[in-house]
């Protein structure tokens, strides 16, 4: 699903296509021409590419040994397994990091390993491998630390571990910000030396590649490992990694594994999100319903509770932990709403005309919700946003970006002003001292003006297909479902219908935040919901005829099933 925000939109109309190209692709892949129009507009213009996209298969992903240092990593882990060494699997406190740590723990235990899983506490321990992880390794007598979704910037911590006689193998997917740690192996597709053909793996995706190599060397059948693709799908979608290339293959298979998962923790987590493990689950369900619950415990409390849930075996324990996550999620919602309102108030006074980035800071804002607040500010202002919370003279912040602004690269240009930073194009974290924050804000705004100079701050709606209202139905919905899973890099197709009536618009939801109406025209009537557009009620009522940008989805309620339009924007039809 695309963003649910409701600010000004810029419609990017569908590219014109040669009808013979559409007909040729439809004939070769056996799909309706409307679906093939979407494929062509997304650059999938050959029969071979279309078949590969539509029928992704695990057999086509690259060998794990193409990743940097994979051979060295496998050899060190194999030695730990053979010699019955204790292994500390050190994850991160977000959903990707927890999923990666759970995956490595389960996979290595199936290989006979003695494994102790660990994730740090966000506020007490901070991000990445640090003294807390080294202390834990010492406590459990681990001679090997295996990181999951972290470690590539932990140069000092790796040196400390090595001095204590503890080897470190790093699996990560973040870009290094400087010196590469002196670990036994650093398995990361984003290393400067990497020649791996797909660089956008998630943290859990890299962990899966390491286990793939270990299982291959052990002569184990692929299904033994692929039952754990449910965790790969969870972490990859939660971390908003592009659902293209290898990620598309892993997530598509992983969603089907999630539907039939036997993991007690995942089944309880799905149930608390209002999902059943034996029904069809989409990437959107992870993004909006499952991942927030898992992320909340890392933001508000001990991420260890989330990791224990993913590893839970007994149903009663899983239900108890899922209930705990539900309570933490409710607390997180209250906290991020409070911080967001304070940030919005500050933005109204600080944001100047011409600013292409939002940089805000405050004292004692809960560090666990800064990323969520930054995301909401991006939706509200359609600009990159960085939100920083100060505790004394030290501030920790989270940033989220928009298309056209590489957040990690921008922070790299600001490195002299920062104590620490890390992340990727669309999301990053940082540490800055109070006496540097004003300069940091001005530098980031300057770079945003430079990189986004030709863009007005408005959310783009890139339309995939113009259709007649009568075409919005089960047939088109089924056809477009072949393009799933949808998410970052492969968004849900946006359709446009022209010259329709917005019939009986009314406000619904908490405080009337949303609009509900029906699209009427050509003898057809389609139910529609417009999230976040409650304030546009008078506009909807006054529109004689409207052009509408929308997604179509299946809506099930009270035993009834219908095709529904999810309206992203509407505007009066030009006469």
The residue among 9 and 191 whose pLDDT is bigger is 191
Rounded percentage of the chain residues whose pLDDT exceeds 70? 97
DSSP strand pairing (385-391 vs 394-400): antiparallel
Query: Residues 205-236: pLDDT tens digits?
Result: 999 999 999 999 999 988 889 999 999 999 99
Using CA atoms, how far apart are residues 497 and 119, in angstroms rounded to an integer? 48
Tell whether the model's pLDDT for residue 126 goes beyond 90. no
Give the pLDDT score at 277: 61
State the pLDDT confidence band at 558, using cuts at 50, 70 and 90: low
Q: What is the model's pLDDT at position 503?
A: 96
Average pLDDT over residues 303-311: 95
CA-angle at 108, arms to 106 and 112, nearest 5°: 110
Residues 112-124 as b or e (16 or more Cβ within 10 Å = b): ebebbbbbbebee
- According to CATH, the topology of domain 351-459 is Diaminopimelate Epimerase; Chain A, domain 1 (3.10.310)
Indicate the length of the chain as a whole number.
Answer: 575
Residues 467-483, mean pLDDT to the nearest whole number: 94
User: What is the pTM assigned to this prediction?
Assistant: 0.90
Strand residue runs (E) in 234-306: none
- CATH class (in words) of the domain with range 62-324: alpha beta
Average pLDDT over residues 155-174: 97
What's the pLDDT tens digit per position in 268-299?
A: 999 999 997 667 899 999 999 999 999 988 88
First vs last C-alpha separation in the chain: 31
| Closest-CA residue to 439 (of 369, 374, 361, 534) | 361
Which parts of 34-129 are beta strand (E)? 86-90, 114-118
Query: Is residue 5's pLDDT more than 50?
Result: no
- Asked if pLDDT for residue 557 goes beyond 80, the answer is no
Vertex 323: Cα angle to 321 and 328 (nearest 5) = 95
What average pLDDT does range 297-308 have in this prediction?
87
Give residue limits of the domains in the chain.
Answer: 9-29+463-572, 62-324, 351-459
**Counting Cβ atoms within 10 Å, is residue 164 exposed (0-12), middle (13-18) or buried (19+)?**
exposed
Instruction: Provide the pLDDT for residue 367.
Output: 87
What is the H or E stretch that residue 448 is in? helix 437-451
How do 358-363 and 385-391 pair as beta strands? parallel
Tell me, what's the pLDDT at 353?
A: 81
In contact, 407 and 426? CB cutoff 8 Å = yes
What is the C-alpha to C-alpha distance for residues 161 and 171, in angstroms, rounded to an integer? 16
**Per-residue confidence band for 9, with pLDDT thresholds at 50, 70 and 90:** confident
For residues 422 and 286, the model is more confident at 286
Task: Say which residue, 346 or 127, is predicted with more confidence.
Answer: 346
How would DSSP label each residue in 124-145?
HH-SSS-HHHHHHHHHTT-SEE
Domain 9-29+463-572 has what CATH class? mainly beta
How far is CA 455 from its chain centroid? Answer: 25
Q: In DSSP terms, which residues pair with 11 in a beta bridge?
A: 461
Q: Is the pLDDT of residue 4 over 60?
A: no
Q: How confident is the model at residue 3 (pLDDT cuts 50, 70, 90)?
A: very low
CB atoms within 10 A of CB 68: 20
Percent of the chain at pLDDT > 90 equals: 82
Supply the pLDDT for residue 368: 87
pLDDT of residue 454: 63
Across 327-352, average pLDDT: 92
Is the pLDDT assigned to residue 427 strictly greater than 90?
no
pLDDT at residue 555, rounded to an integer:
83
Over range 505-522, report the average pLDDT.
93
Which position has the token pair 């699996």?
171
Structure tokens belonging to residue 294? 């898992």
- Residue 557: phi, psi to the nearest 5? -150, 125
Q: Please say if the pLDDT value at position 11 is more than 90.
A: yes
Rounded mean pLDDT, 176-181: 89
Q: How far is CA 81 from the centre of its chain?
A: 33
Q: What is the DSSP letter of 286?
A: I
pLDDT band at 456 (very low <50, low <70, confident <90, very high): low
Q: For the chain, give the longest Cα–Cα distance.
A: 78
485 cis-preceded (ω within 30 degrees of 0) = yes
Which tokens is 230 given?
């449910």
What is the arithmetic mean of pLDDT over 11-35?
95
Q: Given a cut of 50, is residue 366 above it in pLDDT?
A: yes
* pLDDT for the residue 225: 93
Q: What is the mean pLDDT of residues 484-504?
A: 95
pLDDT tens digits, 57-70: 999 999 999 999 99
Give the list of residues 6+ apart from residue 200 with CB closer than 8 angstroms, or none. Answer: 173, 189, 241, 242, 244, 245, 246, 247, 489
Q: Is 187 left (phi over 0), alpha (psi -120 to 50) or beta?
A: beta
């Amino acid at each position: 699903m695309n963003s649910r925000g409701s600010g000004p939109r810029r419609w990017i109309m569908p590219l014109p296509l040669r009808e013979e190209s559409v007909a040729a692709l439809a004939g070769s892949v056996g799909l309706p021409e409307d679906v093939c129009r979407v494929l062509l507009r997304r650059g999938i213009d050959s029969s071979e590419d279309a078949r590969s996209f539509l029928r992704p298969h695990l057999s086509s992903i690259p060998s794990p040994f193409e990743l940097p240092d994979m051979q060295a990593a496998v050899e060190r882990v194999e030695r730990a397994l053979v010699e019955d060494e204790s292994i500390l699997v050190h994850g991160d406190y977000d959903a990707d990091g927890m999923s990666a740590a759970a995956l490595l723990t389960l996979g290595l235990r199936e290989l006979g390993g003695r494994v102790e899983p660990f994730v740090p506490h966000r506020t007490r321990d901070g991000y990445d491998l640090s003294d807390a992880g080294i202390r834990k390794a010492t406590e459990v007598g681990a001679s090997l630390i295996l990181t999951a979704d972290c470690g590539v910037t932990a140069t000092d911590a790796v040196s400390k571990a090595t001095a204590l006689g503890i080897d470190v193998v790093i699996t990560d997917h973040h870009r290094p910000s400087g010196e590469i740690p002196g670990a036994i192996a650093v398995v990361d597709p984003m290393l400067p030396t990497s020649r791996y053909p797909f660089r956008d793996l998630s943290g859990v995706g890299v962990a899966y590649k390491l286990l793939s190599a270990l299982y291959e060397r052990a002569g184990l059948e692929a299904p033994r490992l692929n039952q754990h693709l449910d965790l790969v799908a969870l972490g990859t979608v939660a971390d908003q990694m592009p659902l293209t290339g290898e990620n598309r293959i892993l997530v598509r298979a992983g969603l089907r594994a999630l539907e039939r998962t036997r993991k007690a923790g995942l089944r309880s987590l799905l149930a608390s999100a209002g999902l059943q493990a034996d029904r069809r689950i989409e990437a959107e369900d992870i993004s909006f319903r499952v991942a927030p619950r898992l992320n909340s415990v890392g933001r508000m409390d001990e991420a260890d509770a989330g990791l224990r849930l993913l590893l839970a075996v007994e149903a009663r324990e899983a239900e108890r932990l899922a209930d705990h996550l539900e309570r933490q999620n409710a607390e997180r919602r209250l906290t991020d709403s409070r911080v967001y309102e304070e940030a919005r108030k500050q933005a109204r006074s600080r944001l100047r005309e011409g600013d292409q980035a939002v940089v805000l800071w405050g004292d004692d804002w809960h560090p666990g919700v800064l990323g969520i607040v930054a995301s909401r500010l991006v939706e509200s202002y359609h600009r990159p946003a960085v939100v920083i919370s100060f505790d004394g003279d030290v501030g920790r912040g989270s940033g989220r970006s928009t298309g056209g602004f590489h957040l990690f690269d921008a922070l790299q240009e600001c490195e002299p002003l920062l104590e620490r930073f890390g992340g990727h194009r669309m999301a990053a974290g940082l540490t800055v001292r109070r006496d540097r924050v004003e300069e940091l804000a001005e530098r980031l705004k300057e770079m945003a003006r430079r990189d986004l100079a030709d863009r007005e701050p408005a959310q783009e709606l890139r339309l995939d297909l113009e259709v007649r209202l009568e075409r919005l139905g089960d047939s088109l919905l089924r056809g477009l479902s072949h393009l799933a899973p949808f998410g970052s890099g492969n968004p849900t197709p946006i359709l446009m219908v022209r010259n329709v009536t917005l019939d009986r618009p009314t406000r619904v939801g908490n405080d009337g935040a949303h609009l509900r109406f029906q699209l009427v025209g050509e003898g057809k009537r389609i139910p529609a919901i417009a999230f976040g557009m409650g304030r546009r009620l008078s506009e909807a009522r006054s529109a004689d005829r409207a052009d509408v940008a929308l997604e179509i989805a299946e809506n099930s309620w009270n035993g009834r099933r219908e095709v529904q339009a999810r309206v992203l924007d509407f505007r009066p039809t030009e006469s």
